[in-house]
Structure 1
Amino acid sequence: MTRHVVDGLVEDHDHILQALDLFVESVNLLEQGRLSPDVVEGLIDFLSNFADQCHHGKEELVLFPVLEKRGIPLHGGPIGVMVCEHGIGRYLLRNARGVLDRLRRGEHSAIEDLRRYAESYRELLIQHIDKENNVLFPMAKQVIAEGELVEEAEEVEKGHRHEEMLRKLDELRRIIEAARSNG
C-alpha cells in the first residue's frame, strides 16, 4: 500500500503528543520526589532527538523544500511559521535542560522554571501540530503525490534512530506509570 509522506509525520505527532504529556507529568512527579531527574532528562532527550532532529528534520530537509518549490511560500506562509516554531521549541528544550542541571546542583527553586518550560513547550507543540495536521499537511497532499518523498523521509529516520527512540519513549512511559501508581 502506497503511503503519503505526511502519513508518517502524522504518526510522529501522536508519539510527540504522548511525550509532551509525559514531560509535564514527569516534572510534577520529580517535584514530589517520586521520579528521578534522569527520567525528565530522558524525555528532554526524546523530544530533542525524535521531535526536533528526526521529525522536524523530515519536515525541514525533505517536505518543506518541495512544498516551497511547488508554490507554498516560505516567507509569509505556513512553512515560515512552522520553521519559526521549530526554533522556539529548540530554545525551550535547551533552557529546560539548563534548568534541570540547576535542579541537580540542588537549586530546588528551579522546579518552577522547569515546569514553565515544560508547559510552554507542550502548548507550543500542541498548537504547532494542530496547524500542521489541519492546514499544512492538507496543502501538502494537494501538491505531493502518494509515495513521493517517503524514501527520503525514511532515510532521515534511519539517521536519527527513529525506532530506537520510540522504544525509549515506551520505556519512559512505563517508568512514569510506575511512579504515578506508587504515589
Structure 2
Amino acid sequence: MQITLCGHSAGCTLITQILEREHTLSQFGVREIGPIPSIQRAIFLDGIYNVTSLVEQYPDYCGFIHEAFGDNMERCNIISSGKQDKDLVKHIYGQLDKITVIHSIWDELISLKQPEEFINWLLECGVDERLVTEGCYFDSFGKHNDVYQSKKVAHILVTDMFTR
C-alpha cells in the first residue's frame, strides 16, 4: 500500500521525522519499530522544517520547541542538525514520487525562510530539482491557520493528486 503524508506547521516536522525515521530514532538510541506502508508523496503546508533555524529567527518559540525536544532540538531531523549527509537525504526524499510545499505569503507565524531553507537544502543534497521545485506554491493562502482550509490550496492538492 502506498500512502501520502500531509502535514501543517509542526505536522511538516513530523513528516520529516517519519521519512527520516531510521536516522531520527537512531539519534535517540531506538531501533526501527517495524515496517510502515510505502510513502509515495509528502505534502507540506506552512511548515516548520528546521527547528534550530526557527528558534534563531523567533526566539519566543524556544518554549514550545524545548517542550517538544528538550535540549536535543538539533536531533529533531536531519536539516535541524546542520549536518550535510547528502547521500542519506537524497535517498530518503529522492524515492518519493511527489513533494509538495505550500506556504502562504500572509503567514504571520512562520516566514518564507522555513520553506526556502528546506527546498534549498533538498537541492543542495542532490534531490532531483524537478521533484523539489514542481510542487512549490508560495501565494496568498491566508494566515497560518487558514492555509489548510483554503479553497486555493484544496484546488492545488486535488489537481496535484492526479498528476505525477
Point out the structure with max Rg over C-alpha. 1
Shared fold per TM-score greater than 0.5? no
Higher RCO (CA 8 Å, separation ≥ 6 residues): 1
Q: Which has the higher helix share?
A: 1
TM-score norm. by structure 1 comes to: 0.27
Q: Which has the higher strand share?
A: 2
TM-score norm. by structure 2 comes to: 0.29
